[in-house]
Amino acid sequence: MSTSNDNFTAWAGVQRGKPFTKMELKLKEWDADSIELNITHCGLCASDVHALDEDWFPSDFPCVFGHEIVGTVTRIGENVKHLKVGDRAGVGAQSGSCHQCEACLDGQPNLCLEDYLYTFGSRWPNGDKTYGGFADKWRGDHRFTFKVPDDMTSEIAATFFCAGITTFAPLRRANIIPGESVVGIMGIGGLGHFAVQFAKALGAKVIGISHNESKRDIALELGCDDYISVNDKESFDKYNNGLTHILCTGTSSDFAWHTYFALLKINGHFINVFSPTWDLPGMNSFTLFNKQIKVYASKIGTPKEMEDMLAFAAENKIKPWITTYKMDDVNKAIEDFRAGKARFRFVLEN
C-alpha cells in the first residue's frame, strides 16, 4: 500500500455492526519519542470485536482496531535507543502513559493512573487519535514498542503482544514453584492455550478446566497433565482442595465463585484476566475466609514483563495455534471469529 509520509491506509470501523472500510487516515504528530513501523502482521483479538460492538464503552469512530502489531521499524525519534531502523518490533494493547504518576514511576505504566492510552480508541495529549494495527503503518511512543526475538517469526510474535502478556505476567508473578504448584487454567481458548503452555514451562502441574468434555483432547495436546470437566462431578471432585492456583481466562455467565474455590488449597490464588460483558457475581465472605483465598486480577503487563515474556517464549518455544488471513480479508476474519472458528488466534498479514 502506498501512502504519504504522515498518512496511512487502514481498514477502519466506521459504525457498530458495519463492515470495516478501507480508508486513508493521518498518523499522530511526530516527536522525539515517536517510532514508526511498516506493519507486517496484526493479531485479531476478542477485545477488537468487543470494542467494535461497543460492548464495554463507546468507540471513537472511525476507529482502527488491532493491538497485537508487528512490523519493521522505518523511522525513529531522537530519544529512541533500544530499536533501530530495520528491526522487527511489536506493540500491544497499550501505547502510552503519563510517565509521571505513582504507577508509572514504579515501573508499572500498565496501571497508569492519569493518562493511560490504549493502542486504539484513545487520544494523544495533542488530541490526535491512537490507531491500531489493521493498517499498513503504525506510529506511536517507543516506550511501548518492543524488539521481536530473532528466532521468532512475525506472525507468531504478533499474538504475544496481548494474549501472551495477559497470561504470562500474572503467572510469572504468582510464585509458581516447579514440581509443587498445581495450576488450573479456566478456559481453553485464545488466552487459555497460551496460559497452559506458560504454566507448564514455569514447572507447574497444569490442569485444564472447561464446562464439558469437548476441550479435553485439545488441553492434553497443549500440555495439560489432566482435565476437569465442570459438569462431570467425578473429574471435579478429583481435584477438590487440589490446586494452588487458578487462572481464569474465560467462563460463562453462570459462573459462581464457590464452585472454583472448592478446587483451591488453603492460601490458594484465584487470578482473573477475563473481561466479560456481564458483571462478575457477588460472593459469600466465608468462601474466602475458610481458605484465606487470594483473589486478584492482572492488566496486560509492564514493559519489563513484555521483554521477559518474549525472551521466555522464544527460549521455551511457546507456540500459539494460529490461522492467517490477508489484511484485505479482515471482514472475513471477523465473520469467522464471530462464528467461533478461531483455533485459537487469527493473524492478519500485509
Q: Where exactly are the structural domains of the chain?
A: 7-148+320-349, 165-297
For residue range 174-192, list pLDDT tens digits in order.
999 999 999 999 999 999 9
Neighbours of 153 (CB within 10 A): 13
CATH topology of domain 7-148+320-349: Quinone Oxidoreductase; Chain A, domain 1 (3.90.180)
Mention every residue, 6+ apart, whose C-beta is less than 8 A from residue 247. 167, 170, 171, 183, 184, 185, 186, 195, 199, 271, 273
Lowest mean pLDDT among 107-116, 173-182, 276-285, 328-337: 276-285
Q: Note the pTM of the prediction, 2 decimals.
A: 0.95
Class of domain 165-297: alpha beta
- C-alpha span between 175 and 198 (Å, rounded): 13
Q: Are 323 and 346 in contact (CB under 8 A)?
A: yes
Question: Distance of CA 245 to CAs 10, 89, 265, 341, Å?
Answer: 41, 33, 8, 29
The answer to whether 20 and 135 have CB atoms below 8 angstroms apart is: no
Average pLDDT over residues 188-200: 97
Instruction: Give the Cα-Cα-Cα angle 242, 247, 253 (nearest 5 degrees).
Output: 105
Residues 61-84 pLDDT 10s: 999 999 999 999 999 999 999 999
